[in-house]
Amino acid sequence: PLVQASNEYGKASSREQVRQVYRLFDRLRERHPSVEFESCASGGGRIDFEILKRVERVWTSDSNDALERQFILRGASMVLPLQVLGSHIGPSPSHTTRRRHSMAFRGATALFGHLGIEADLLGFDERDLADVSRVVDVYKHYRDLLHGGDFVRLDVETGIDRVRGSSVFAHGVVSKDRRRAIVSIAQISTEESLAADHIRIVGLLPDEKYRVEFVPLSESQVSGTHIGPATKQPMWLTSSVAGDHVVLSG
């Protein structure tokens, strides 16, 4: 929102201010055609479709807390494509909330947007540097899919956080030909039950067979085990060095 959008006489003036912002960007673009510009978020109220004619991306929020960003992404992506949403890996603890999150969670959250790093790399230990490098490599590998596919939100039958709603956020990007997808499943609050529900990825070809793999974003995620219900159907898959996978229909 624009704060105090009036002039010294108390008259509304936000419309003219907005027009001048567009005019300024037009002049900057004319003088510097190769420069990438980013529009601010609430500080200037300048995330709209008209500004996207003039900038390469928008800063989604000053809060870089990955948990907060899960909610911010869910709302902002309703109207804006992922490739213009500034989405950065922040420090731990977060400079806005003081929460601590793993690099894997920060990386998985930032993947679904215009990824960057907004943390002092000189303060990272060897493990953090290795993990953030892994996240960047994963982003580069899947960038064509993340920025060229269809973003989908997945409904999860789960417990309800009394304050924030669903305790699990799931979303992903499906390629235009429906043969590839990358999905994030985030546990954002305590579940009422330890038993996770099945998640169906919308947008896939129903009769197609898909190779499902877990994408590790940190060294601690490289090895793991399959967890499944009594039906023997895998519900969750973690990868090992050998590259474990499962084949499922769309």
DSSP string, the chain: --SS-B-TTS-B-HHHHHHHHHHHHHHHHHH-TT---EE-STTTT--STTGGGT-SEEE--S---HHHHHHHHHHHTTTS-GGGEEEEE--SS-TTT-----HHHHHHHHHSSEEEE-S-GGG--HHHHHHHHHHHHHHHHHHHHHTTSEEEEE-----EETTTEESEEEEEEE-TTSS-EEEEEEE-S--SSSSPPP---TTS-TT-EEEE-----SGGGSS---B--TT---SB----TT---EEEE-
Q: What is the pLDDT of residues 37-77, one digit of tens each?
A: 998 865 556 788 899 999 999 998 888 999 999 999 988 99
Q: Is the pTM of this model over 0.95?
A: no
Q: Along the 250 residues of the chain, how does pLDDT read in single tens digits? A: 455 666 667 676 777 778 888 999 999 999 999 999 998 865 556 788 899 999 999 998 888 999 999 999 988 999 899 999 999 999 999 988 999 999 999 999 999 999 999 999 999 999 999 999 999 999 999 999 999 999 999 887 655 554 456 788 999 999 999 999 999 999 888 776 666 667 889 999 999 999 998 898 987 776 444 444 444 444 444 433 334 678 889 9
Q: How far apart are CA 119 and CA 92, in angstroms?
A: 9
